Chains A and B, each alone.
Chain A
Amino acid sequence: MDGNTEPLSPRAKLAVTAGKAAAAVSRAAGRGSGSVIGGKVALRLDPDLLGRLAQHLDVILVSATNGKTTTTRLIAEALRAAGPVVSNALGANMPAGITSALAGGSDARFGVIEVDEKYLAGVARDTTPKAIALLNLSRDQLDRAGETRMLAERWREGLAGSKAVVIANADDPLVVWAASSSPTVVWVAAGQEWKDDAWSCPSCGGVLQWPNDEWFCADCGFRRPAPSWALSGDYVLDPHGSAWPIHLQLPGRANKANATTSAAVAATFGVPPQVALERMYGVQAVAGRYDVVSFLNREVRLLLAKNPAGWLETFSLIDPPPTPVILAVNARGADGTDTSWLWDVDYTRLAGHPIFVIGDRKLDLAVRLEVAGLQFQVCETVDEAVQYAPPGRIELIANYTAFQDVRRRVGN
């Protein structure tokens, strides 16, 4: 694919410089990486900056409810086989953060960009991507994110007529419905353990039938498309029927699915699956997720799960009982302030694990676990939970701000 070599306009250059200066000031003031503030300053000086920065790149967008940060990272690693990559690796996934990330990569060939679900249509319009990877859609932050199906609707409208190759999960009916409006779709059988947002046909409202993985709507005929890529156990099956082994340092089925989608994306840019998958092995932890830290002389693995689908995938990757498990839940703005979603998570899957409960909303979780008939211990702090936990590596599962709290405390 030919890159665009037209230089940035003086105004765009000024915007980039101003954005970098603002980011540096923000960093110096101790306010995080400064990427969002920098992006905001830059966008105010040049509202078209995002599009102008993207012109020089082969842009790949990645969106989903779960797994977008990790998948962005996996795709970035794979594509480095073909050329330099710029990426919003820290997960600043709204337009300002994306602008800021792209401004830092003037020599790159690829821009691999994680996009918040709500902004996908707009960013796709501004950046003219070559490829868009869509992983899954499920309930998340219902107090403010709005309806899951409405998000799928906005994707569908935003992608209609897009020139991008859309690489989409054939096993998630909402994703299939959203992606079906684009002319070119590569379907990936990436799986989706969570089914509770996929009982109602997104097209006609009929009841979806799941006799096996081949879901369909008996009322309108909307059905699972035939995938050309698939995750099969520990292998990626490519469109030619070849099986490529997945070796990841990242745990769990969901990350194998993310690797499968990433291999399909990489192939779109001429990187063979074997090369792509080998490079993905290098990814160890993503923004602290999956990291094993040493804390109070114990090993603790940090796992982030933000919504019911995420918790379900996380339960399937933790070590079996009697591995101790610490659960941490907050309900601050970034988490969603309603904790009702805890009741959509099947905590009986934790039976047999010693369970310790922390976080702002530990009492919501305590009632949830009591009703599930589980034994558990409520603790005031992560220190206390770690000290009470019986021997062995500890699995710590936390939602968004609870995860940040824990990372700060354990010094990760």
Chain B
Amino acid sequence: MMSDNSLRLVWVYPDLLSTYGDQGNALVVERRARQRGLDVTRIDVRSDQPVPTSGDIYLIGGGEDRPQRLASERLRRDGGLSRAASNGAIIFSVCAGYQILGHEFINDLGEREPGLGLLDVISTRGEGDRCVGDVYGDIDQRLGLPPLTGFENHQGITHLGPTARPFARVQLGRGNGTGDGTEGAYNDTVFGTYMHGPVLARNPQIADLLLKLALDVNALPPTDDRWYEALRTERIAAATQPA
């Protein structure tokens, strides 16, 4: 799956969708790939540049409402990310980026904005307060990952269609905001979540899952994860035992 000898890691639209520290996800994937001896080419694609179709892993972050609309318009017009998806590339998206990967969302003008339709989800906007705070939950057991920890900060509500599976179920926090406890969505190669933190820094095993899918391997050499583990323990305790 990996093109030539270098893992091609594409960070989509940092000029529009990099407001909430989600570029940390790119830093974590790159670091963990290099720790396994992989060569990594990180490609940051600005929204006036074409999205390359030959990437192995694509990451998209959260952003504010107007940049989200602009990003969706430009990604639809460009078509590169959709072609990459049909080539089987791994795509991991957060918050505003997650909504863009769905069929539609509510834009800054209060109108329904089409997304890319790479995930079978539809997003609307909640009536109440923003969901802000630490989240704790269980990742879909088919993925074989430890509990999810993250930080949510959004007002979106995302409904899953029949071909999208919930990425996780929250024990604490709002997740998709639908009231059924679901958080995020995924299919075979495309993932979406509301979790910041950034989520891959809080959950390095998700970063490894993306690497395994992109490399088409079942296991990766171990890494020294003691600081990640210490942070996870602290944040899970903070979420489950509020002061």
| Chain A interfacial positions (CB closer than 8 Å to B) | 139, 142-144, 147-150, 196, 199-200, 205-207, 337-344, 363-364, 366-368, 370-373
Can you show 15 pairs from A to B with CB atoms below 8 A apart?
A: A142-B20, A147-B64, A149-B64, A149-B66, A199-B46, A207-B48, A337-B151, A339-B151, A340-B22, A343-B27, A343-B201, A364-B201, A366-B231, A367-B231, A371-B201
User: B66, B133, B196, B227: which contacts A363 (Cβ < 8 A)?
Assistant: B227
In the docked arrangement, what's the CA distance between A142 and B64, Å? Answer: 10
Q: Are A143 and B153 in contact (CB under 8 A)?
A: yes
- Cβ–Cβ < 8 Å partners of A200 in chain B: 15-16, 47, 67, 70
In the docked arrangement, what's the CA distance between A371 and B65, Å? Answer: 29
- Cβ–Cβ < 8 Å partners of A150 in chain B: 64
Q: Which residue of A lies closest to B25 (CB)?
A: A343
In the docked arrangement, what's the CA distance between A338 and B27, Å? Answer: 18
Q: A139-B19, A337-B132, A344-B23 are in contact. Are A371 and B28 (CB under 8 A)?
A: yes
Q: Are A341 and B21 in contact (CB under 8 A)?
A: yes
Q: Which residue of A lies closest to B150 (CB)?
A: A340
- Cβ–Cβ < 8 Å partners of B31 in chain A: 370-371, 373
- Cβ–Cβ < 8 Å partners of A341 in chain B: 20-21
In the docked arrangement, what's the CA distance between A166 and B233, Å? Answer: 50
In the docked arrangement, what's the CA distance between A240 and B64, Å? Answer: 42
For the complex of A and B, list the 7 residue pairs with the smallest distance between their C-beta atoms, beginning with the closest.
Answer: A340-B21, A343-B24, A199-B15, A343-B21, A207-B48, A363-B231, A147-B64
Q: Which residue of B lies closest to A364 (CB)?
A: B231
Q: Does B182 contact A (CB under 8 A)?
A: no
In the docked arrangement, what's the CA distance between A150 and B64, Å? Answer: 10
Q: Does B99 contact A (CB under 8 A)?
A: no
Q: Are A342 and B21 in contact (CB under 8 A)?
A: yes
In the docked arrangement, what's the CA distance between A227 and B242, Å? Answer: 51
Q: Which residue of A lies closest to B34 (CB)?
A: A373
Q: Which residue of B lies closest to A206 (CB)?
A: B48
| Chain B interfacial positions (CB closer than 8 Å to A) | 14-16, 18-24, 27-28, 31, 46-48, 64-67, 70, 132-133, 151, 153, 196-198, 201, 227-228, 230-231, 234
Q: A207-B48, A364-B231 are in contact. Are A340 and B196 (CB under 8 A)?
A: yes
Q: Are B231 and A340 in contact (CB under 8 A)?
A: no
- Cβ–Cβ < 8 Å partners of B196 in chain A: 338, 340
Q: Are B46 and A370 in contact (CB under 8 A)?
A: no
User: B18, B48, B132, B227: which contacts A196 (Cβ < 8 A)?
Assistant: B18
Q: How far is the CB of A400 from chain B (nearest CB, A)?
A: 17
- Cβ–Cβ < 8 Å partners of A206 in chain B: 48
At the interface, is chain B mostly helix, strand, loop or mixed?
A: mixed
Query: 11 more A-B contacts (CB under 8 A) besides A199-B14, A207-B48, A343-B23?
Result: A142-B20, A143-B153, A337-B151, A338-B132, A339-B151, A340-B151, A341-B21, A343-B198, A363-B231, A366-B227, A367-B231
In the docked arrangement, what's the CA distance between A205 and B109, Å? Answer: 14
- Cβ–Cβ < 8 Å partners of B230 in chain A: 363, 366
Q: Which residue of A lies closest to B132 (CB)?
A: A143
In the docked arrangement, what's the CA distance between A338 and B131, Å? Answer: 12
In the docked arrangement, what's the CA distance between A144 and B16, Å? Answer: 20
Q: How far is the CB of A255 from chain B (nearest CB, A)?
A: 27
- Cβ–Cβ < 8 Å partners of B228 in chain A: 367, 370
Q: Which residue of B lies closest to A198 (CB)?
A: B15
Q: How far is the CB of B154 from chain A (nearest CB, A)?
A: 11
- Cβ–Cβ < 8 Å partners of B198 in chain A: 340, 343
Q: How far is the CB of A137 from chain B (nearest CB, A)?
A: 13
User: A142, A371, A373: which contacts B24 (Cβ < 8 A)?
Assistant: A371
- Cβ–Cβ < 8 Å partners of B14 in chain A: 196, 199
Q: How far is the CB of A340 from chain B (nearest CB, A)?
A: 3
Q: Which residue among A340, A364, A370 has the maximum number of chain B CB atoms within 10 Å of its CB?
A: A340
In the docked arrangement, what's the CA distance between A144 and B151, Å? Answer: 13
Q: Which residue among B14, B67, B231 has the maximum number of chain A CB atoms within 10 Å of its CB?
A: B231
Q: How far is the CB of B9 from chain A (nearest CB, A)?
A: 14
Q: A142-B20, A370-B227 are in contact. Are A147 and B65 (CB under 8 A)?
A: yes
In the docked arrangement, what's the CA distance between A368 and B197, Å? Answer: 11
Q: How far is the CB of A150 from chain B (nearest CB, A)?
A: 8
Q: Which residue among A343, A363, A366, A368 has the maximum number of chain B CB atoms within 10 Å of its CB?
A: A343
- Cβ–Cβ < 8 Å partners of A363 in chain B: 227, 230-231, 234
- Cβ–Cβ < 8 Å partners of A367 in chain B: 201, 227-228, 231
- Cβ–Cβ < 8 Å partners of B46 in chain A: 199, 207
Q: How far is the CB of B27 from chain A (nearest CB, A)?
A: 5
- Cβ–Cβ < 8 Å partners of A337 in chain B: 132-133, 151
In the docked arrangement, what's the CA distance between A196 and B132, Å? Answer: 23
In the docked arrangement, what's the CA distance between A205 and B151, Å? Answer: 28
Q: How far is the CB of A49 from chain B (nearest CB, A)?
A: 32
In the docked arrangement, what's the CA distance between A260 and B17, Å? Answer: 33
In the docked arrangement, what's the CA distance between A238 and B17, Å? Answer: 39
